[in-house]
Chains A and B, each alone.
Chain A
Amino acid sequence: MLAMNKIKILGITVITIAATVVITSCKDKRSTGWEYAPNMYEHIAYDPDQPNPNFKDGKTAQKPPVGTIPVGFTTFDYPNTKDGYELAGTEVKSPLPQTQQNFADGEILFQHFCSPCHGMTGQGDGLVVAHGFPAPPSYSKGQSSRGGAMKDLSDGKIYHTVTYGVNAMGSYASQLAPEERWKVIMYVHHLQTL
């Protein structure tokens, strides 16, 4: 090694320093960094949230064709009107059995999806409300905007509200599957008694 002449040593030094500078200097948090053969990182199969040139609207996530329903899906054929609400209130009942498991699932789902506004105990005092969102009425003490006390709301009325939304509340149909909605309602019935 020591027999190497000055020029060789100098050459190696220069090459290494240059390589180090070139390779390590381009660190930018806005880029993914060095890529080698990224073929399978750039997916051939489309993910649901990717653009897709094969469809007219350019989206991979397509809506199901009109008039079709997924296997095992229960439809809710009540329109988003006052009459539909009242009718659902008298006709629709929860299909779920009253089990501890369903109740526990409902509690978690309620905490994840409803408590930001309705509060952990359904009093309409969630953290989002504390930051300026209009407060919803309390489940146990409030009055419903569609008549009657909140604590008297039936299965079907709550299901109609969760599905379509009302007033400042949006529809939760895209976030909660029908069965999950029923689990939440099971827990809401408990909060109505508080």
Chain B
Amino acid sequence: MRSISLILKQFSRSVVLVAGFAICGFSAYAQGDAVKGEALFKSKCTTCHKLDQRLIGPALGPQLESETDDKWLTKWIQNNQALISAKDQKALKIYNEYNQSAMTVFGDLSDGDVSNIISYVRTEYKKEKTAAPAAGAAQAKAAESGPSDLVIFGLIGVIVLAFIVILVLNKVIATLERLLLKRQGLEPLLEEEPKEEGAPVDRFALVKKLAKNKKFIFFVVLCGILASVSWTWMTLWNTNVHTGYQPVQPIKFPHDLHAGTMQINCQYCHSGAYKSKNASIPSLNICMNCHKVVKTESPEIHKIYDALGYDPATQKYDSTKSRPMQWIRIHNLPDFAYFNHSQHVKVAGLKCQQCHGPVETMKEVYQYSPLTMKWCIQCHKRTEVNMKGNAYYEKMEQVHDILRKGGKVTEAMMGGIECGKCHY
């Protein structure tokens, strides 16, 4: 009997163990492996989806929370096109809601992969949701700890005030004591005064002597006048020169981040510099190339949205609400000077920084060069022209060759009928 019970016990244990493993395994399959899902999510989904925000496609966190039919989700993720062409109602609704932009067909994802991704999204979104109130609470705590800082500063202030009061009182006491001594008898004062006066007399003797010297005084005054006149002269000489001008722009666009850290080429936004007179201030659609997706919460970016009449929640533009962004011009040439960007950037091959300075390090752009005639001419005198491999100068050389051979040259041959020669 004992042996039977032992066998039974062992048997029942193994059964429980196996059952336990089976349940674990089953539940693991049903839930999917969130860790594996994370890697897949980051490589396949983040191009178009965020957990908590609408990007190209829906915000996956809330979407997967409301959509619990995993079988349908798997079908959608693996081949959304098939569902749409089969006129599945749910699929069509999403397709139309997101401007009929087709989702990539992920035929390479197995059922297991998809369930891994789904479980990652759900667990991660839950974590974020619970983390968000915690962060809020932490902020509140920080706010609560704010007054303690105030108290500390207040205490420091009180201590400083106390010191000042003590010092003042000390002085008052000292003067009162002196007055008392004066009344009682003049002896202590008389003793002290000669000692104190003796030193200053020696110290200022030279100064007093010089002060009586008229020639010296005149010399000093003349030097002072010359210095201030030359300072005034220099300032007046810079009339109409705006070097260092750094106005406050309507949007705090940091060039150091975009052109410095991200190394976006100047031409990306100022695309006119290579092909026209104007370097052109980028229109807001160029900002939206990136900021439709990134930094969507920033108040500065919302200025772009407001100017465009763009609603980030629906990703739609309302052209009736749009207005131009009024940037403040920094580099301004007078009308009597013609300057063409493309001639300098494309033909001469100058770097933008040569005139505009290290813009890629400027948080706020300022005028780097004086843009005076002297400055232009200096560069034109010093810069050697590179004629090789330059279509602009090749044309000029051709004209010269024709002239040398005694041929006729017309204005049109030198580009005289290009529209921009007159209508600029």
User: Could you tell me the distance in whole angstroms from the C-beta of A57 to the nearest C-beta in chain B?
Assistant: 8
Asked whether A59 lies within 8 Å of B267 as measured between CB atoms, the reply is no
The answer to the question of B290 belonging to the interface, with a C-beta cut-off of 8 Å to chain A, is yes
A93 in the interface, Cβ–Cβ < 8 Å?
Answer: no
Q: Which residues of A contact B231 (CB under 8 A)?
A: 20, 24
Distance between Cα atoms of A146 and B80 in the complex (Å): 11
Interface string of A14-34 (1 = CB under 8 A from B): 001101100110000111111
A132 to B231 Cα, complex, angstroms: 51
Given known pairs A19-B232, A174-B286, the reply for A167 and B48 (CB within 8 Å) is: yes
Given contacts A24-B235, A116-B268, A128-B264, contact A38 B104 (CB under 8 A): no
A134: chain B residues within 8 A (beta carbon): 46-48, 55, 293
What total of A-B pairs shows CB separation below 8 Å?
161
Binds A, one of B127-135, B245-253, B379-387: B245-253
Q: Which of B151-159, B185-193, B330-338, B394-402 contacts A (4 or more CB under 8 A)?
A: B330-338
> Which residue of B is nearest A174, CB measured?
B285
B47, A136: Cβ atoms under 8 Å? Answer: yes
In the bound complex, CA of A23 to CA of B256 (Å)? 34
Interface residues of A in 66-115 (CB under 8 A from B): 81-82, 111-113
Q: A65 to chain B: which residues have CB within 8 Å?
A: none
A148 (CB) vs chain B CBs: closest residue: B105
Contacts of B225 in A (CB 8 A): 12-13, 16
A30-46 interface (Cβ within 8 A of B)? 30-36, 38, 40-41, 43-45
B352: shortest Cβ distance to chain A, in Å?
12
| Contact of B100 with A82 in the complex, beta carbons under 8 Å | yes
Asked whether A36 lies within 8 Å of B264 as measured between CB atoms, the reply is no
**Interface membership of chain B positions 205-249, coded 1 if the CB is closer than 8 angstroms to chain A and 0 otherwise:** 000000000110010010011001101100110111110111110
| A51 to B326 Cα, complex, angstroms | 8
Q: Contact check, A35 vs B240: say whether CB atoms are below 8 A apart.
A: yes
Q: Number of A residues contacting the other chain (C-beta, 8 Å)?
A: 64
B102 at the interface (CB under 8 A from A): yes
Mark each residue of chain B from 329 to 355: 1 if its CB lies under 8 Å from any CB of chain A, else 0.
100101110000000000000000000
A147 is an interface residue with CB less than 8 A from chain B: yes
A169 x B289 contact (CB < 8 A): yes
A105 CA / B288 CA spacing, docked (Å) = 26
Instruction: Determine the distance from Cα of A1 to Cα of B324 in the docked complex, in whole angstroms.
Output: 63
Complex formed: what's the CA distance from A31 to B242 in Å?
Answer: 8
Known: A16-B228, A175-B286. A48 touches B280 (CB 8 A): yes
> Smallest CB–CB gap between B323 and chain A, Å?
8
Interface residues as binary, A147-189 with B (CB distance below 8 Å gives 1, 0 otherwise): 1000000000000000001111111101111000000000000
* A29 and B221 within 8 A (CB): no
Contact call A29/B242, Cβ cutoff below 8 A? no
A191 at interface, CB cutoff 8 A: no
The listed residue (B101, B218, B263, B329) touching A166 by CB distance below 8 A is: B101
Q: Mark A127-147, 1 if CB is under 8 A from B, else 0.
A: 110011111110000011111
How long is the Cα–Cα vector from A169 to B293 in the complex, in angstroms? 9
Using Cβ atoms and an 8 Å threshold, which residues of chain B touch A58?
324
Interface of A: prevailing SS? loop
What 1/0 mask marks residues of chain B from 96 to 140 whose CB sits below 8 Å from any chain A CB? 000011111100000000000000000000000000000000000
> Taking the complex as formed, is A194 at the interface, i.e. its CB lies under 8 A from any CB of chain B?
no
Q: Which residue of A lies closest to B56 (CB)?
A: A167
Give A145's nearest chain B residue, CB to CB.
B104
Whether B280 pairs with A49 at a CB distance below 8 angstroms is: yes
- Expressed in whole angstroms, the Cα–Cα distance for A34 and B234 within the complex equals 12
Mask: chain B, 74-101; 1 = CB below 8 Å from A; 0 = not? 0000000100000000000000000011
- Pair B239/A33 contact, Cβ less than 8 Å: yes
**Interface bits B17-33 vs A (CB < 8 Å: 1, else 0):** 00000000000000000
Residues 41-63 of B, flagged 1 when their CB comes within 8 A of A and 0 if not, give: 00000111000000110000000
Name 13 extra pairs, CB < 8 A, besides A13-B221, A135-B47, A170-B289: A19-B228, A32-B242, A34-B240, A51-B324, A116-B265, A127-B262, A128-B290, A131-B294, A133-B293, A145-B103, A147-B105, A167-B47, A171-B285
18 A-B residue pairs with Cβ-Cβ distance under 8 Å, sorted by A, are A13-B224, A16-B232, A23-B232, A32-B242, A33-B242, A34-B238, A41-B240, A41-B332, A58-B324, A111-B265, A113-B268, A113-B271, A116-B262, A116-B264, A143-B105, A145-B48, A146-B104, A167-B101
Q: What is the interface of chain B, defined by CB distance below 8 A to chain A?
A: 46-48, 55-56, 81, 100-105, 214-215, 218, 221, 224-225, 228-229, 231-232, 235-236, 238-242, 244-248, 261-265, 267-268, 271, 275, 278, 280-281, 283, 285-286, 288-290, 292-294, 324, 326-327, 329, 332, 334-336, 366
8 tightest Cβ-Cβ pairs between the two chains A and B: A170-B289, A20-B228, A112-B265, A145-B104, A40-B334, A34-B239, A40-B335, A29-B246
